[in-house]
Structures are given as C-alpha cells and as structure tokens.
Amino acid sequence: MSETPALDVARIQADFPILKRQVNGHRLVYLDSASSAQKPQSVLDAMDRIYRESYANVHRGVYTIAEEATAAFEAARAKVARFIGAPEAREIIFTRNATEAINLVAYTWARANLEAGDVIVLSHLEHHANVVPWHILREERGIEIRWIPLTADQRLDLSDLDRLLDGASLLGITAMSNVTGTIVDVPHLVQAAKAAGAHVLVDGCQAVPQMPVDVQAWGADFVAFSSHKLLGPAGIGALWARAELLEAMPPFMGGGEMIRDVTTEGFTTNDIPWKFEAGTPAIAEAVGFGAGIDYLAALGMDAVREHERALTQYTLDALADRFGDNLTVYGPAGADDRGGVISFLFDDIHAHDVSQVVDEEGVCVRAGHHCAKPLMRVLGVPATTRASFGVYNDRADADALVDALAKAEAFFAI
C-alpha cells in the first residue's frame, strides 16, 4: 500500500466551476483530461486579475503596470522551471503548445545539425506532434526514421534498442502514451541513447500533468509539454532544453523580442529564452499556466500520481467485472505501469457511437484515433473510445462511465 495521502477530490471538485453544470439532464462527468484539462477558479482568477489590474505588453514598457505584467510573466516561467526540476528559468521557452515546442526543435536544432542519412528514432506510441515534424524533415533532408516497436500489451519492445539507436542523432520519445497510458522508462532510454551518442527529446504532454517529473533526473536534452493539460489555459506550452543547447541553436521565428540589434544589413539575437520568443507572447496565458502549476504543486505530484493510479485500477477492474470480454482495453494490464488513460473497444460498436450514447448520460469521453495513427495501425483499429482522468475525477465518475456504457450495451443490444 502506498503511503501517499489521497487527494481530497470533493474539495478539488468545488474549485472547478464547470463541474457544477448539467449536461443532457445529468451532472457533468468529464473524462477527457488527456485531451485537455478543466480549469480551477484560481487559474480563471489569475488571468482575470492580470487583465483587470496589470495588463500591458511585457519586456517593453518602463511604466509600473508594464513592469508588473513583465514580473508576472517571468514569475510564471520560474514556476514552470521549478515544477519540472529545470536548473534555470531561462531554459524554459514559452511556445503555443507542445506541438510548437517539438517543431521548434525540428526547425532549429535538427535543421542545424542533421543531414541526409542521419537517423532519428521514434516509437509506435508517438502522438502526431512527435511524428509529423520528423516526416517533414525526412522529406526535406532525407533523414532516416527508425521505429521502436511495441509488445503485445503496447509497451515499448526494447529487445532491439541498441541496433535501432546505433548511429542515431536523436531519440524522440513520449514519456506516457495518450492512448494506452503506457508509462515509458525515460531514464533507461536516455541512458541507452546517450551511450549511442544521440540527443533525446521527450514528449512530456501526458506525463508532466500526471506524475512527478524531474528533467535533470531524466537526463534528456529537450522536453515539450502544454499548459492546457496542466489545468492552465490553451494557447501556451513550453519547451525545456539545456541552456548550452539553446544558446547554440539558431532562432526559430524572427521579429520583435528575439533580437538584440537589427540593422539594414542583419540582426543579432537576444539572450535565451527570449531568442526563441518572437513577437508579443501569450501574457495572461503564461500567468494562467503558472496558476495551474501552483494548483498541482500544492496538491503534490506524488499524490496526483497515486490518485491517477488508484482511479485507473478501480476503473479497469470495474470495466472487466461488468463487461468481461465484450470490452477490450489496450495497454499494460495493471495501473502501476500506466497513467490515467483507458482506451478501449466495446464489442463491435463504433467508438463514436459509444461516445455519443454515453454523452446522453453526461459522460464526456473521446472517440477517434487520438492523433496517434501509427499506433492505431499497430492496434489494427481505426479508432478507440478513451476515458481519461484528472485530479477532479473520483470513483463516482468511473461508476457513471460503467453505467453509461451499460446503457450503450443495451441500446446496441450486444
């Protein structure tokens, strides 16, 4: 038994205004946090406050409210850095989202360092955000992409890892699948990649909101994640990278903020992190990002992980008890090896039909390919239904899912 204190979910639920609403005559049961998390009042208040009291452009004005806005924006960067164990706030680049963070690496570090024939290693678990930028580079440069395959229960099959990494320049790997919930042993992979001389980019989109993450313990070079899955607003994400890498990388986009000087002949770049933040940034969103992180940090990420683990195990058991072989769950069998994400097939009912029927009961689940089509091909299905948990979900939500699925079962008369 874990000794981590349990989350007080009833108190947490009271902090999320949207959970008070009814949907189709039922209480809202939001089971799509892997896609985007709901927002606590503290995040809404922090964003409202900056607009009401201290809004101005950042890094430019020397008047009081501009200095307040800049201080709030940079304080958010420091919070993000602390949350993931980054040694310095200047190693956090604010981007639009995780997708842009990965593209930043592809358009700067990779284009400065990779040539035709160079090798990138990805896995069959990857989200399109960590696939398509590399396909684009492959088409442009003729790099080679190698794929880490999966075991029958959708863990990484590392039996051929050394051969896959041999001569590779970059390993791009998710820390947690957004489809199967598979938790990846990042330190082990980083060690293997470093031994082969490869850099490592970690897609932390699902792991950073759900478990304690220390980028220094991971030992990776780049880590990408999004605010909107961390209880913060959409429109902002982050790339963490080691300072010396960022300093050596060419800039991403050109414009204001990212320059030190501009002449008719050329330009010089600003210091990191601003060198990678061209144009007016998402100011209130950064403040909201920091407030989302404050909320999670106050709960404690060990407690958040234990909450996700316990609720996932409870739901896996409840689904197996109620539906047996009619419901196929993907991913590792036990919750110890997976995050709070459960993707499943429900007999031969299409995932979209399942999603629509449970919505009638107020239950929000995602249906589709989850932006992971290479994985869908491995699973041999076009789509799955996916339930995923946040800090505001409890066993009553899992029970509501099971009851709603029972209605779908009756409706489609399995």
Ligand X SMILES: Cc1ncc(COP(=O)(O)O)c(C=O)c1O
Chain residues in the site for ligand X (CB under 6 A): 35, 97-99, 127, 129, 174, 178, 203, 205-206, 226, 237, 371
- CB 101 → ligand X: shortest distance, Å? 8
- CB 205 → ligand X: shortest distance, Å? 3
Q: How far apart are CA 48 and CA 284, in angstroms?
A: 8
Alpha helices in 259-394 (DSSP H): 283-299, 301-323, 351-359, 373-379
- CB 238 → ligand X: shortest distance, Å? 11
Give the DSSP H or E segment for 282. none
Return the closest-CA partner of residue 285 out of 341, 233, 332.
233
Nearer CB in complex with ligand X: 69/189: 189
- The residues near 346 (Cβ < 8 Å, ≥ 6 apart) are 323, 326, 327, 354, 385, 405, 408, 409, 414
- CB 371 → ligand X: shortest distance, Å? 6
Residue 404, classed as helix, strand or coil, is helix
Upper half-sphere CA count for residue 158 (Cβ side, 13 Å): 12
- CB 98 → ligand X: shortest distance, Å? 4
Give the DSSP H or E segment for 272. none
Cis bond leading into 273, ω under 30°?
yes
Nearer CB in complex with ligand X: 98/114: 98
- CB 365 → ligand X: shortest distance, Å? 15
Nearer CB in complex with ligand X: 49/135: 135
Name the token pair of 212: 């304690």
The answer to whether residues 50 and 72 touch, using CB atoms and an 8 Å cutoff, is yes
Nearer CB in complex with ligand X: 69/120: 120
- CB 164 → ligand X: shortest distance, Å? 20
Nearer CB in complex with ligand X: 201/283: 201
Return the closest-CA partner of residue 231 out of 316, 304, 129.
304
Q: How far apart are CA 137 and CA 118, in angstroms?
A: 11
- The residues near 64 (Cβ < 8 Å, ≥ 6 apart) are none
Return the closest-CA partner of residue 102 out of 282, 240, 271, 275.
240
- CB 203 → ligand X: shortest distance, Å? 5
Name the token pair of 369: 């390919």
**Which is the catalytic residue, given 335, 371, 372, 391?**
371
Q: How far apart are CA 274 and CA 89, in angstroms?
A: 11
Return the closest-CA partner of residue 305 out of 316, 314, 296.
296
Q: How far apart are CA 26 and CA 10, in angstroms?
A: 18
DSSP letter for each residue of 21-38:
-EETTEE-EE-BTTT---
218: left (phi over 0), alpha (psi -120 to 50) or beta: alpha
Does the annotation count 371 as an active-site position? Answer: yes
Nearer CB in complex with ligand X: 209/362: 209
Kind of pairing between the strands at 363-364 and 29-30: parallel
Catalytic residue positions? 371
